[in-house]
Chains A and B, each alone.
Chain A
């Protein structure tokens, strides 16, 4: 490759979600795994492992169909955060080849701009081969391509002719474009989807009989723009390098450090408190001078015996507010045992982000009420990260899976789409039942009557019922007999039949997680207790019936 051209490497991890699921669950790599997304309440397969595909499971198939084809297949929801985290980690690892590395989480890829750096690795082909070997060792399926433009590298990685050939190896061959002059020739046979155009444009092109890239070059740019918009022409220019394409690389995290040495060792809580306050003040000045915000602070001290003690403070959102940081670090002095004294201390600000000064008048949202974040940060700093929690709704009809308990600082993370949907779910429940006081919908009440307290796991009950499919007339609970005065129900809740029995979540019924249908009843005892019980198993199917107490009402 000539030195005048750019050099891009694109790595496409086409089997990453199933591979990650196997890694997280400890499954064998050759097991059948299918990853699905929830699209308009439908669970649609978006990724499948090689063995699942071999069994007939296809992309865009519903989970129900896939379950019918391969009952032993493991199904998992697409974990966007896990994929992004993995790509970010690998991207940071790839800094050894070039400082300009970026992730493409939508396409499950990582790109490297090795312009001017490839010779350090022995040339572009040698770098590609080394990457190939590295990923082969950890058994990650990857398709690597190198090209003078980002678009071409992406296209070769995704739509190489070699990709279609059956290959028993884990990793595919490397395709490198030596010269930009031959790039156009190599791009010609690729399908139009290699241009990274939207599905609407792709469908329009296919409708017009345009299947491959070389067919577009015969048409003038004006005609293409008139018919399909400017995006298509822009992508055509980008893939051959006529139009520049800006990418967002990963930013090298360079933590900001402020340190102080002491001629005489520091002793006493007051002195340590003052030391921490000084460090915080200095780091805030540094952050302000660089227009940076931090989400993670590490305060470390070195004692006279060279022992290093570290204390960390996490924030739910980036900040450089001196008063906030003073408040969060105020208790640290009592937790540091100075013994014979402290002779060196430093503070590191990590997880930095840009924090340019803005005018409040331009965007009032930037200055929204942040008292909740401050409260959570304060409590987390004082009590520990796993002690402060919040309830988060989960998209499940199983009562024990319909909410999750998450550390509160995690719930304060930049909202992903699923989280924002969850928030609207809470609000929907509230709005449907309460806000419209004048028209209180009785059907909604009976439908969504859920207890105020949920027992996890549910408590087994001894029950007397007149008929097997009737609500109980008496239950035995806490060594007492409770006579039932009124009962309402049942509300039938089916099992998540596509999940295996062995699968348990931290807040699900750990003791017993069967695939039986449940009939829920609302009971009122003669002494006034209001209970939520369920009968597991259907008598008409000949199943063993068991009763459980699952919650309390007010």
Chain B
């Protein structure tokens, strides 16, 4: 057996072991077959996923909430622990808005921790609490932490990723680490790395000087959201990039196809319909 053959055999063994181990993990499908294929079936439960975005917190939070809604629907009696800084400039989660998109705020437990290290420790505690000890099993659907700024310290960041990964595996809980940052941060210890930003609206006229004011467009605006999503790291090595639409009423994610984009660009310029007195 030459070296090349042994190397191929070894690679096959690794892949088989990886797939057999990965199949044991439960996943959450994101409704888009391309993304699910990249993730080998969907977002893996019991793993840590990194989600970042630049600009403002709306896109990243929206994408996380889209995932949360799916997982909370699949586990109707479970809870979500969100560790965040409640006094940050990104704003506080708003219950009325969450309820309107189908997420029950009563199932959301917020942990207020401004210091990233203590915040990660809080995430770890939440993941540890999900472990079944004795008679009481705590059902946690997901643990989220807004502490991606820890990546500024590479040593701490790798340790954090590893510790969270171990805790998530033991608790078998979906764990999301999020943050608002424009730069690409190292995602070595994470199962997947998502970069999410708002999808640029297809402005038909480059010289729009005044906004279109419309009362009926509230449905168009706030029944869905669009994001530019770049899935840059997966266990399978495959990547995905594109625009995702999220329908609030159904909770479904869908890929914005190229023909649809063309249709959007073909929409004639809206007339200004103002109901402002």
Q: Which residues of A contact B (CB under 8 A)?
A: 321, 323-324, 326-327, 369-372, 374-376, 378-379, 382-383, 386-393, 399, 402-403, 405, 408, 423, 426-427, 429-430, 433-434, 437, 440, 442, 445-446, 448-456, 466, 469-473, 483-490, 507, 522-531, 551-554
Q: Taking A369-B77, A528-B199 as contacts, is the C-beta distance between A485 and B222 under 8 angstroms?
A: no
- Indicate whether B58 reaches chain A with its CB closer than 8 angstroms: yes
Q: Please give the distance in Å from A488's CB to the nearest CB on chain B.
A: 5
Which residue on B lies nearest to A507, using beta carbons? B92
Q: Tell me which of A442, A452, A454 has the highest count of chain B C-beta atoms within 10 A of its own C-beta.
A: A452
CA A327 to CA B134, docked complex, whole Å: 10
- B62-79: CB near A (< 8 Å → 1, else 0) gives 110110000000000101
Binds A, one of B105-113, B149-157, B256-264: B105-113
Q: Tell me which of B63, B110, B214 has the highest count of chain A C-beta atoms within 10 A of its own C-beta.
A: B110
Q: Please give the distance in Å from A79's CB to the nearest CB on chain B.
A: 22
Q: In the complex, which residues of chain A have a beta carbon less than 8 angstroms from the beta carbon of B250?
A: 437
Main secondary structure on A side of the interface with B: mixed
The answer to whether B58 and A323 touch across the interface, beta carbons within 8 angstroms, is: no
Q: Please give the distance in Å from B261's CB to the nearest CB on chain A.
A: 14
Q: In the complex, which residues of chain B have a beta carbon less than 8 angstroms from the beta carbon of A372?
A: 79, 107, 109
CA A376 to CA B251, docked complex, whole Å: 28
Q: Which residues of B contact A (CB under 8 A)?
A: 55-59, 61-63, 65-66, 77, 79, 81, 86, 89-102, 104-113, 122, 125-126, 129, 133-140, 197-201, 203, 208-215, 217-219, 221-223, 225-226, 246, 248-251, 270, 274, 276-277
Which residue on A lies nearest to B220, using beta carbons? A486
The answer to whether A470 and B91 touch across the interface, beta carbons within 8 angstroms, is: no
Q: Please give the distance in Å from A326's CB to the nearest CB on chain B.
A: 8
Query: Which of A323, A382, A486 makes the CB contact (< 8 A) with B212?
Result: A486
Q: In the complex, which residues of chain A have a beta carbon less than 8 angstroms from the beta carbon of B137?
A: 371
Q: In the complex, which residues of chain B have a beta carbon less than 8 angstroms from the beta carbon of A451?
A: 91, 94, 97
The answer to whether A379 and B56 touch across the interface, beta carbons within 8 angstroms, is: no
Main secondary structure on B side of the interface with A: mixed
Q: Please give the distance in Å from B174's CB to the nearest CB on chain A.
A: 16
Query: Which of B140, B214, B276 makes the CB contact (< 8 A) with A375?
Result: B140
The answer to whether B56 and A485 touch across the interface, beta carbons within 8 angstroms, is: no
Q: In the complex, which residues of chain A have a beta carbon less than 8 angstroms from the beta carbon of B93?
A: 391, 452-454
> 3 shortest A-B CB distances, which residue pairs?
A554-B62, A528-B198, A446-B218
Q: In the complex, which residues of chain A have a beta carbon less than 8 angstroms from the beta carbon of B223?
A: 440, 442, 445
Q: In the complex, which residues of chain A have a beta carbon less than 8 angstroms from the beta carbon of B225?
A: 530, 553-554
Query: Which of A449, A507, A523 makes the CB contact (< 8 A) with B211?
Result: A523
Which residue on A lies nearest to B225, using beta carbons? A554
Q: In the complex, which residues of chain A have a beta carbon less than 8 angstroms from the beta carbon of B97?
A: 450-454, 551, 553
Q: Taking A327-B133, A450-B97 as contacts, is the C-beta distance between A430 and B104 under 8 angstroms?
A: yes
Q: Jot down 12 A-B pairs with beta carbons below 8 A, ordered by A.
A: A323-B134, A375-B109, A393-B105, A429-B96, A433-B102, A450-B97, A451-B94, A452-B93, A452-B98, A453-B97, A472-B211, A529-B198
Q: Please give the distance in Å from A424's CB to the nearest CB on chain B.
A: 11
Q: Taking A379-B129, A452-B98, A551-B94 as contacts, is the C-beta distance between A371 and B249 under 8 angstroms?
A: no
CA A178 to CA B55, docked complex, whole Å: 79
The answer to whether A452 and B198 touch across the interface, beta carbons within 8 angstroms, is: no
Q: In the complex, which residues of chain B have a beta carbon less than 8 angstroms from the beta carbon of A324?
A: 136
Q: In the complex, which residues of chain B have a beta carbon less than 8 angstroms from the beta carbon of A469?
A: 276-277
Q: In the complex, which residues of chain B have a beta carbon less than 8 angstroms from the beta carbon of A554?
A: 58-59, 61-63, 65-66, 101, 225, 246
